[in-house]
Amino acid sequence: MDIKSIPHPALEECFQLEAVVDTPVVAGQSNIHGRRQLIIVKEGTLTGKLTGCVLPGGVDSQIIRPDGFTELSARYALELEDGKTVYVENNGIRRVDPVAAPEVAAGKIVDPKYVYFAAVPKFEVYDDSLRWLEQSLFVCYGTRLPDRVLIRFYRVL
């Protein structure tokens, strides 16, 4: 057996999330740390292999560096159509084309074509029928719009 015999991973798109978010609350800003902001998740929808809603009260804690590079750490809950719930911890990064970096560092939303936005979600489930969420790795790719976030979740096969 050699290195070439190691299987290549594949991605399976499992579900999509659209979350309505509030105006960012700036916790602070400096030349060293960048801009720390908190964004409240108001509500949202979930479609695909999981269907339901995003419960209000989640938060996305962000640190936006002066060059526009952003560290993301979101926590929110989902309620599925059948009443089951899922807690999500989603950590990732967003980076922008240098032409858009000054706008992002100032807290502005820029055209998604300038943005790389990827994260690694971790799920906590409370029903055995959803255990597959905890027993696989997932990645997601997103788009930030002025009042909402769109995210596609992929399971690594």
Alpha carbon separation from 115 to 65, 81, 122 (Å, rounded): 14, 32, 23
pLDDT by residue for the chain (157 residues), tens only, comes to 899 899 899 999 999 999 999 999 999 998 888 899 999 999 999 999 999 999 999 999 999 888 878 999 999 999 999 999 999 999 999 998 988 888 877 778 888 899 999 999 999 999 999 999 999 999 999 999 989 999 999 999 9
In CATH, what is the architecture of 11-156? Beta Barrel (2.40)
Q: Is 137 helix (H, G, I), strand (E, B) or coil?
A: coil
**Mind giving me the DSSP string for 9-57?**
P-EEEEEEEEEEE-PPEEEEEETTTEEEEEEEEEEEEEEESS-EEEPTT
For the entire predicted model, the pTM comes to 0.91
Q: How many helices (H) and strands (E) does the chain have?
A: 1, 10
- Contacts of 5 by beta carbon, 8 Å cutoff, 6+ apart: none
Joined together, the tokens standing for residue 77 give 């809950």
Q: Which two tokens stand for residue 109?
A: 């939303």
